[in-house]
Structure 1
Amino acid sequence: MPTARDTVLLFTHSGDYFTVDRVAQEVSRRGLRPLRIDTDGFPSEWELTSMLGPAHQDVVLHTQAGEVRSAEVRSVWLRRRVPPRLDETLEPAWRESCARESSAALVGALDGLTGAGCRFINPLGADEAAGNKLLQLRLARAHGLEIPRTLVTNDAERVRSWFDEVGGRMVAKMLTPLTQSMGGGQPFVYTTAIGPEHLDELEGLRHSPMVFQERIDKSHELRVAVVGEHCFVGAIDASRSVEGQVDWRRSRPDECAWSPGRLPEDVARRLVRLVAELGLVYGAADFIVTPDGRYVFLEVNPGGEWGMLERDLGLPIAAALADALASEGS
């Protein structure tokens, strides 16, 4: 008799609470067994075994909640994958080697779960490919979404010339995030306005290129959580925040709050098609809504935060993710 595939693995880290708890609750309501896996606890706190032979393969996870085999797993939510917490007394080179080996073993096990027919959100490897911001902008433009004029360079002279081309209205940001959690406690580089006084201070480009974009006038901003064909929209207006006018994440909690947002149907359709072409089931997209009503696409984050939209606005994002995890499709 075949084993029931009634387990949903929720891969995250030990500091993650609200979102993973909400998805676990919704998975349970669908008659399935959610199993939280804190990736920073491997290999010190739980065991992982991958087996592969001529006619057999299996992945076995042993946690405090018990043992689970790949044949029991219906789906996997790759909420977060973070480096392991290793013994600080280990010699540095050995510690680095242990971290690499642990990461490689985990990636191999995830591939084994894929081979066993487990559904992934997002599909294994899709987050890394979809994280290419220039690819996102190119595809967004191809799907008919408006995008800001963008320059990625380490050429300081070109930045100075481009500053004049955009009329002195320019922001700088990074291609890759240092952290994705809104309360992650890790280093974070915010989007920053660039003025004439900064144009003689670009020597740092010798060490790393940056993204420069034209600064778009804002009525407000949108965070759109896309799950399959569903868009859940929150709006935020940080115009009254001195620190948050360029990047709402710099605002104080008392300066702005989330409110229900709206995305026109044609923009929503284009966004859903973009997320699908990037190979994602879930993505968090950011838009600027201009004073004259244009919707300007900024980026889509494959692991972007959505907890504040569910917590503050009651948007059923966890339920939508649970529906996708409960489905039998690959």
Structure 2
Amino acid sequence: MTRAGATVLLVSHSHDEFGIERVADGLRRRGARPVRLNVDRFPRSLTLSTALGAGGVRRRLEDAGAGLSGEEISAVWLRRLWAPNLGEGIAEAYRAACVRESMAALTGWLRGLPARRWVNEPAAEDRAQDKLLQLATAAAAGLRIPETLVTNDAAEVRALFARLEGNVVAKMLTPFSMSLSGGAPFVFTRAVSAADLEALSGLRQSPMVFQERIPKARELRVAYVDGRCFPGALDASRYEAIAADWRHPDVVAAGVGWEQGALPRDVEARLGAFMRALGLVFGAIDLICTPDGEHVFLEVNPAGEWGMLERDLGLPIADALAEALLASTENP
């Protein structure tokens, strides 16, 4: 199949605009046909069907009267996979079960698509969500990582705090919440104080990540696309006294903006080895650059944000994603 014949499925949600529209434009300029699947409209407003029988497997998407066969899809971008939207009028006793059934139908439909190119392949993306696996894989690729402890044992936390002389931050292994409205609570990375050591009883309800606090000159968000690195940087001296997490509202309110970033070639090579080991074509990678110029790996989000880097710095990330999605559709 040639580029002009490629149909690319863009999986996201209705409130996602900047990045996905730029990738769609990049695909159109290359002669491909982007088709958007807003999963927050399933199962109420769009229809997915998987039929299995003597004739094989048939998959179909119906949206606003337009139909698409699964066999037409050459590539898939898993931009965002949100929980199905059941709307109102369903008894709460059945809501959780209906969400599970809808998600199982949706993910089963997606995983069975015969697309030859995925960004990212679902099994690889699921596996890469494991933050401990990320850190171990990064270290094996030659990247420096912070000393890390995941525990529900308060004594272990106190011992780490003493060994690192109080230079410890706390964070979650997974996002605390996921909301299209943006109004749900969110747990940011925060510095651990001596007073916090006396209030660790909550670990028995929810283990946490405790990590060495790395001195920062800059923090980098690197959009990695199929072997290419697009780095943006933040001047940590402008906000480290405010919060340990650049996503914190107080840091945003301070007007700290993205600047052009750069990576040494050896760091780029190690990031490439790390991403290949995880089987990821795309990821948003977070690094710290220390005052001594050393780069320290924090994590990768396989579906992380990059739009601010393209918008503020002009980095051609959307075009790189379009190219990556078409990389395997040049020839039959």
Q: TM-score over 0.5 for the alignment?
A: yes
Q: Does 1:127 align with 2:125?
A: yes
Residue matched to 1:60: 60
Match of 1:218 among 216, 222, 227: 216
| CA distance in structure 1 between the aligned counterparts of 2:242 and 2:127, rounded to whole angstroms | 30
1:146 alignment partner in structure 2: 144
Instruction: Give 1:96 shift.
Output: 2.0
The residue type equivalent to 1:293 in the other structure is G
TM-aligned CA deviation for residue 101 of structure 1: 1.1
User: Does the 8 Å contact 1:227/1:283 carry over to 2?
Assistant: yes
Q: Aligned residue for 2:199?
A: 201
- Structure 2 CA distance for partners of 1:197 and 1:316, relative to 1, 3 Å: same
The separation in 1 between residues aligned to 2:261 and 2:65, in whole angstroms, is: 40
Q: Distance in 2 between matches of 1:178 and 1:150?
A: 19
- Native 8 Å contact 1:47 1:61 kept in 2: yes
2:89 alignment counterpart = 89
Q: Which stretches in structure 1 are left out of the alignment for 5+ residues?
A: none
For each residue in 1:112-138, what CA deviation from the matched residue of structure 2 results, as whole angstroms up to 9, or x when unmatched? 20xx24421100222210011111111
Identity within the alignment, %: 51
Distance in 2 (CA, whole Å) between partners of 1:178 and 1:18 is 24
Match of 2:325 in 1: 325
Closer/same/farther in 2, CA of residues 213 and 72 from structure 1, 3 Å limit: same
Alpha-carbon distance change, 216 to 302 in structure 1, aligned in 2, over 3 angstroms: same
Equivalent pair of 2:150/2:209 in contact (CA under 8 Å) = yes
Query: Which has the higher mean CA deviation after the structures are superposed, 189-198 or 80-89?
Result: 80-89
What displacement does 1:56 show?
2.0
Q: Tell me the distance in 2 between the aligned counterparts of 1:252 and 1:124.
A: 32
Measure the CA separation in 2 of the matches of 1:244 and 1:313.
Answer: 24
Which residue in 2 is equivalent to 1:282?
282
Q: How does 1:23-42 map to 2 (within 5 A)?
A: 23-42=23-42
1:120-162 Cα offsets, whole Å, 9 max, x none, are 1100222210011111111111111011111111000111111
With 40-49 and 184-193 compared, the bigger mean Cα shift is at: 184-193
Aligned runs of 1:257-296 on 2, under 5 Å? Answer: 257-296=257-296
Q: TM-score, structure 1 length as denominator? A: 0.94
Aligned pair in 2 of structure 1 residues 96, 245: CA closer, same or farther (>3 Å)?
closer
CA distance in 1, matches of 2:176, 2:292: 33
Query: Aligned partners of 1:241 and 1:201: how far apart in 2?
Result: 26
- TM-score when normalising by structure 2: 0.93
1:204-255: CA deviation from partner (whole Å, max 9, x where unpaired): 1010111001111110100011111100000011422367541111112543
Find the counterpart in structure 2 of residue 303 from structure 1: 303
RMSD (Å), alpha carbons: 2.1
Shift of 1:180: 7.3
Change in 2 beyond 3 A, CA 1:236/1:279: same
For 1:7, the aligned partner's letter is T
1:172 aligned to 164, 170, 173, which one? 170
Superposed CA deviations along residues 174-223 of structure 1, whole A, max 9, x for unmatched, are 11123579984433211000011111011110101110011111101000
SS at structure 2 position matched to 1:145: coil
Unaligned residue ranges in structure 2 (runs of 5+): none
Give the letter for the 1:292 counterpart. Answer: D
| Aligned-partner Cα distance in 1 for 2:277–2:258 | 29
CA distance in 2, matches of 1:6, 1:180: 32
1:203 maps to amino acid: S
Which residue type is aligned with residue 170 of structure 1? Answer: V
Higher mean C-alpha displacement, 260-269 vs 96-105:
96-105
Q: Amino acid of the residue matched to residue 102 of structure 1?
A: S
What amino acid sits opposite 1:12 in the alignment? S
Partner Cα distance (1:215, 1:202) in 2: 19
1:240 to 232, 238, 241: 238
CA distance in 2, matches of 1:65, 1:242: 52
- For 2:196 and 2:271, the matched residues in 1 are separated by 34
User: The residue matched to 2:321 in structure 1 has which SS?
Assistant: helix
Q: Counterpart in 1 of 2:158?
A: 160
Question: Are the counterparts in 1 of residues 120 and 281 from structure 2 also a CA contact under 8 Å?
Answer: yes
Alignment match of 2:226 (pick from 225, 228, 239): 228
8 Å Cα contact 2:178/2:184 also seen in 1: no
Structure 1 segments of 4+ aligned residues over 3 angstroms from their partners: 178-186, 242-245
Once the 2 structures are TM-superposed, how far is the Cα of residue 99 of structure 1 from its aligned partner?
A: 1.2
Tell me, yes or no, if the aligned pair for 2:117 and 2:326 is still in contact at 8 Å: no
Q: Which residue number corresponds to residue 188 of structure 1? A: 186
Further displaced range: 29-38 or 56-65: 56-65
* Counterpart in the other structure of 1:137: 135
Instruction: Show CA shifts across 1:252-307 (max 9, x none).
Output: 25431001101100001100110111111101111110111110111111111101
Change in CA separation of 1:77 and 1:181 when aligned onto 2, cut-off 3 Å: farther
Q: Name the aligned partner's letter for residue 285 of structure 1.
A: I
Is 2:74–2:117's contact at 8 Å kept on the other side of the alignment? Answer: yes
Give distance in 2, aligned partners of 1:325 and 1:97. 34
